[in-house]
Amino acid sequence: MEKYLYVALFAPLVGSLFSLLFTAQKKNVITALVTSGLLLLSFVSSLSLMYAVHSDMIIHVKMMDWISAGNLNLPFGFVVDNVSVVMMVTVTLVSSIVNIYSMGYMMHDKGYNRFFTYISAFVFSMLILVMSDNFIGLFIGWEGVGLCSYLLIGFWYEKDTASWAGNEAFIMNRVADLGMLMGLFLIYWQFGSFEYDVVFAHIGGINPAVVTTIGLLLFIGAMGKSAQFPFHTWLADAMEGPTPVSALIHAATMVTAGVYLIIRASALFSLVPEVGHVIATLGAFVAVFAASMALVNRDLKRIIAYSTLSQLGYMFVAAGLGAYWIALFHLMTHAFFKSLLFLGAGNIMHAMDDELDIKKMGGLFNAMPYTAILMAVASVALCGIYPFAGYFSKDMILAAAFNGGNYYIWAALFIGAGMTAFYSFRLIMMVFFGDKVYKKLGFHPHETYPFVLWTLLPLGILSTIAGFFEHPFEEFTTRLLSKYDFSFSHTTEIGLIFLTLTFVILVVLATIYKYGRGGFSKQIETMPLYILLKNQYFIPKIYETMIFRPYYVLSRFAWKQIDVRIIDFTVDLIAKILYLLGQRSRKMQSGNLSDMLRWMVVGIVVLLALAIFYRPGM
């Protein structure tokens, strides 16, 4: 089985290195074909690993000793167990689909070969992250995906906004990673090891206050990667990258790494329910906060990005409340329908010459019916309507919130579900139905290549049926993760489901009805609430005035005053003194023999004086 593990892990790396050879050349389809083939190979290997894990086998390999210095001993090991294999299958499946999809989407881009290099490098880093058997390997993968995310957000680096967004994502993640790094140091300090097995075996004997600190610090890292408040601004700006990247990295896989970290360290987090409570509360807040910004946004991709944020909030609620397998389940179903939604958005952008304003679309259903159907499926799954995938996972998160007695969290998630239904169908209605605004603006939309649509089909099917694997999934993952028992009666459960489902369906119907008749009037745009939401609660503005500007002033001061006046001055002074000395002593070399003899005598006198007065060791 080890060889499947190595194939699954290294196939993307091979693909990445292969297409790296072509980056300086013109578009070459072979890069796309080879990387797609290797990603599919990785997917197939992950599937066979899943089968092996299913028959109660945990594959744990030590590839090599990595760092051995003093007391520090870090083997480079990988583990495939019930949690990591779920992530592996999800990541490789979505990335294979995205890679094939990109062959159509990036068809005319001049960075064609480079794009596939980055995507495969990303998948490799992500697999390192999920498969590592120690925190350091996880951290390396963590930074690796951050780097690939930076490269891919700034893929069109000649655009100022894109390179700005790339920098923003990278720097924000660095800030959060500091927290994570401190958590890792604390772990090493307490346990003397980074390996999961060692750490989680000894976690009971550690001072609870320290465990709480470790939990909080790790969660700060998770907040950065999963773009939770207050690190959320980078995710919306990351939409500057190519759409397949948004689907793969900023919806399905990388941003869920934070949730994965919490699930992976569940043995740690389940010891400190207070931290879990903080996580769940923040998650619930973000679920509503992000969804509210999606309500009024007009940018196609940003709406979906805020929706991703909101769904990540749901996952954190589940993870924080100790329902780890539910969080993982939602992570998986979300990966399917959210990447489908993004890839559908990519089709629309393709058809509309990269136009993103949904006000300029409308009535696209006739032009691109298959995309419309796929996106509608994804949206229904996102809203959580029976029998689509989101219904099962999301409903269980709501039930878990209710079960824990955290009624305010439940209420927030309930409102969030309503908002989700509203913005999803607002998007569908404004893009695919209503007046054909695009005709006036001179667009000629057309359906994309058929093979692209065919690659989306597996995602569409999974978004529809994945929910029915709830019980096998629970059985499979709870062999490793702790079980989560619902304590309320069956009637309450039915009542909750009925309540949520009715509410969501009512919101959906109301949205369809409202936008079917032309939507809201212009007047709403002058309401203070609308303006607040439209400007994303003014948080980007606040960050700019409170952080960027003072930091800019500070940096400028450091440059003009400290660097130029002190450091540069010192360096220049040394150079000037040496130059002056040279200038002065040049006169020694007059070419006159008696001058030279004079200097020779001076030298002899100096040496003589040294020989007489300087006696080392006396």
Partner 1 sequence: MITLTHYLVLSGILFSIGIVGVLRRKNLLMLFFSTEILLNAVNIGFAAVSKYYGDLSGQIFSFFIIAIAASEVAVGLGLLVLWYKRSGTIDLDSLQMMKG
Q: Which residues bind partner 1 (CB under 8 A)?
A: 589-594, 597-598, 601
> Which C-beta is closer to partner 1: that of 487 or that of 583?
583
Return the number of other C-beta atoms located less than 10 Å from residue 568's C-beta: 12
| Alpha carbon of residue 598 to chain centroid | 75
C-beta closer to partner 1: residue 441 or 600: 600
Residues 523, 526, 532: CA angle, nearest 5 degrees: 135
The helix (run of H) or strand (run of E) holding residue 523 is none
Residue 174, C-beta contacts closer than 8 angstroms, at least 6 positions apart: none
Closest contact distance (angstroms) between CB of 581 and partner 1 is 18
Q: Give the nearest distance from C-beta 602 to partner 1 in angstroms.
A: 10
> Across the strands, what pairs with 64?
76
Complex with partner 1: residue 366 or 589, whichever CB lies closer: 589
Min. distance of Cβ 592 from partner 1 in angstroms?
Answer: 6
Beta carbon nearer to partner 1, 535 or 589 = 589
> Min. distance of Cβ 597 from partner 1 in angstroms?
5
Rounded least distance, CB 575 to partner 1, Å: 23
> What DSSP string describes 3-36?
HHHHHHHHHHHHHHHHHHTTTTSS--HHHHHHHH
CA angle (362, 366, 369) in 5-degree steps: 105
Closest CB to partner 1 among residues 189, 599: 599
Distance in Å, CB of 591 to partner 1, minimum: 3
Q: Are 37 and 116 in contact (CB under 8 A)?
A: no
Identify residue 41 by its one-letter amino acid code: L
Q: Within 13 Å and on the Cβ side, how many CA atoms surround 53?
A: 30
Please, what is the minimum distance in Å from the beta carbon of residue 593 to partner 1? 5
Which of these, 531, 552, 539, lies nearest to 234 by C-alpha position? 539
Largest CA distance in the chain: 115
Minimum CB separation from partner 1 for residue 121, in Å? 58
Upper half-sphere CA count for residue 587 (Cβ side, 13 Å): 5
Nearer to partner 1, 526 or 583 (CB): 583
Burial class (CB in 10 A: 0-12, 13-18, 19+), 593: exposed
Shorter beta-carbon distance to partner 1: residue 520 or 599: 599
Closer CB to partner 1, 161 or 589, in the complex = 589
